[in-house]
Chain A
């Protein structure tokens, strides 16, 4: 579970977040877990969805850089 999930746009691992969300959704279908446990899983998943949504909706702009012959990076214009 992503206890350390952060809303830092740069460090947020969207792939991992979607993967964990997928696993949560999958475990929700395991009926032998009991309803209360599954309800808790659903709450976690919804929490996850909120965080991913916040990440996706956070204001940010493409970071474009130009690779120089010496492999240094300068802003691309």
Chain B
């Protein structure tokens, strides 16, 4: 006891020692895991400690291998449609995110997807091939070719027996029975299927007479193992190499294969592929009706327009009473003439007044006017007007001018008068 107390006392907690709470430390551990495993991880192992769903529908179990155990939780929402029964000892491939469940102080995998072991292997192969071909550009949208709107020959790569080809032919015949269909009987499942599919694609691509417009790869639904040939690399590369547009129609709507990604178009189902590659005769007839209507409407609108113009013209007063133009113009002319005459008269009167006033002023200065008032103008013999008596001397002759007539006179005597 003394020994223990002494050792506790002797503990030297330096200033740089960081002490965590449990929660803080757990939080840091959780952060470290998140940093290390940012996204989903895939883990393969064997189910253990499986107890079925709890009351809330969640599934808790471990997956383990010979050396380790990983607790897992598969919540009800994610595990609702796993499609098979889980069991103790079942080999599985699970995907999920790692986290730390703090109340129990343990890390665990929150499962998003769970696949049976064999399927899991295929899934991994699928993802790896998908990534590889994506990197090589086999899925590029830019290289995908449009499907011909009006194909003449369609090649179908599928099993010659079964519902798939029957359903497709039924739809093609109903939509557009002018088609020529070349069916390449092909093994679409099991060993050798991939090679059979590749050969069929190459056969159709090489056909010259008739030339194939579109190829359809078709297969009904099945397990991932059944559909696997369409996930083989050789098939993907044959699709990519084809010089004819290819539609991939494998399985059901929810099934995706590598072929779907490489093909020029993906159809959700084989029957959908039949619709995709063939024009719909009924729809074309409807389209023709619409074109007819549009043609009619286009011209009808124009005729209506002409009709409106004609109506406007026919009701126009100008066209109904053309003489009115002359009458109206004459009235206008008269009105203008009156205004012009009035204006000119006024203008002349104004100008006359302006000229008369200076004339009157000039008249007042006229010497004849002065003579009219009884004055007389004396002029020397050399024509000078006499204004000063000093201009004269006794005995000079002068000419006198009156308002009317004149007289010659002699100067008898000069007077000097005040001016």
User: A-side interface residues toward B, CB under 8 Å?
Assistant: 9-10, 13-15, 18, 21, 25, 28-29, 31, 35, 38-39, 42, 45-46, 49, 52-53, 56-57, 60-67, 71, 73, 76
Q: B302: which A residues are within 8 A, CB to CB?
A: 31, 35, 38
Besides A29-B298, A62-B169, A76-B183, 20 more A-B contacts (Cβ < 8 Å) are: A9-B178, A10-B178, A13-B150, A15-B148, A15-B150, A18-B150, A21-B291, A45-B295, A53-B285, A56-B284, A57-B285, A60-B177, A62-B172, A62-B179, A62-B181, A64-B181, A67-B182, A67-B184, A67-B185, A76-B160
In the complex, are the beta carbons of B160 and A66 less than 8 A apart? yes
Contact of B204 with A by CB under 8 A: yes
In contact, B177 and A28 (Cβ under 8 angstroms):
no
Main secondary structure of the interface of B (DSSP, over half): helix
Q: Does B180 contact A (CB under 8 A)?
A: yes
Per the bound structure, the CA–CA distance linking A62 and B176 in Å amounts to 8
Interface residues of B (CB under 8 A from A): 148-150, 155, 160, 169, 172-173, 177-185, 200, 203-204, 206-207, 279, 281, 284-285, 288, 291-292, 294-296, 298-299, 302, 306
| Chain A residues closer than 8 Å to B292, beta-carbon distance | 46, 49
Closest to B282 in A: A56
A-B contact pairs, 19 of them (CB 8 A): A14-B150, A15-B150, A18-B149, A25-B295, A28-B295, A28-B299, A35-B306, A42-B295, A56-B285, A61-B173, A62-B180, A62-B181, A63-B180, A65-B180, A65-B182, A66-B182, A67-B200, A76-B160, A76-B183
- In whole angstroms, what is the CA distance A28 to B293 when docked? 13
CB pair A63 B181 closer than 8 Å? yes
A52 to B180, CA, bound (A): 19
